[in-house]
Amino acid sequence: MNYQWLIHGGDRTRWVWHYWRIYFEAYCTIPAGLETVFLTEQSPIPKEWAPIRAATTGKMAFTSQLLKYFDRCRAKYILYSMDDFFLLGQPDFEKINALVDIMKYKGIKLIKLFGNKHTTAAMRESKPDSDGLHIYEFWRPYIISCQPSIWEKEFLMSSLLANKTGAQFEIHGSLRCKQNAMCYTDPNIFPYKEGIRGGKIRAGSEHLFEKSTLPKKAQNDKAD
């Protein structure tokens, strides 16, 4: 694989990691050769989570955490997601790998892998190119987002200002960005549901945490 999968976790909401892992184990198999890292501040994930590798930065702001990590990260392309995005199916890692090849060939800096009202509008207003990608112009809302995306690492680093929260990263990064992105919103490429927002269970996602609706293999587990 020619990219790294980075799952960005926050120590303040480490209680959610248990649920993230339940959905990961139920739906995801990491292919050989895909380096997968779970990034935290001071509380590393358990060794039993292998082949996912733990990485820590020390206590610092959301954006500073990423900047410090990327300083020592050799990967040129990053599949970025967060600890509150629960998988609902197997990600299509081979397709993501193909999209990274397209990014290299066409000089694309960012491909959004999620669907919302903004990406839907972009897709409606622009025809897909030969690779099925729709342009997402820099002036559209939240060109910079924490939602699952493939980034050229250097572009991601250039979008970060130190000592900012995730919300500030999205707002300030979007205001500063003058680079168009692309979007590829096939729901099967990275099927997920956002579980929490602002440190609390997100409205409409309560079922993700209910024992009766957890993936079957985890229903008998005791939540931490």
Domain boundaries, the chain: 4-218
* Alpha-carbon gap, residue 152 to 119, rounded angstroms: 19
Distance CA(145)–CA(141), nearest Å, equals: 9
Going by C-alpha positions, the residue among 121, 117, 109 that lies closest to residue 80 is 109
pLDDT at res. 121: 94
Mean pLDDT by 10 residues, the chain (224 residues): 95 95 97 97 95 97 98 97 97 97 97 93 93 95 96 97 96 95 92 93 95 74 47
Alpha helices in the chain (DSSP H): 17-27, 62-71, 93-106, 117-125, 153-158, 166-176
Question: What pLDDT does residue 221 have?
Answer: 52
Which pLDDT value is given to residue 216? 74
**pLDDT for 217:** 61
CATH code of the domain made up of 4-218: 3.90.550
Helix boundaries (H) for 28-80: 62-71
Six-digit token string for 67: 């900047």
Report which of 136, 147, 151, 71 is spatially closest to residue 104, judged by C-alpha positions.
151
Q: Cβ atoms within 10 A of the Cβ of 97, count?
A: 18
Q: What is the pLDDT of residue 224?
A: 45
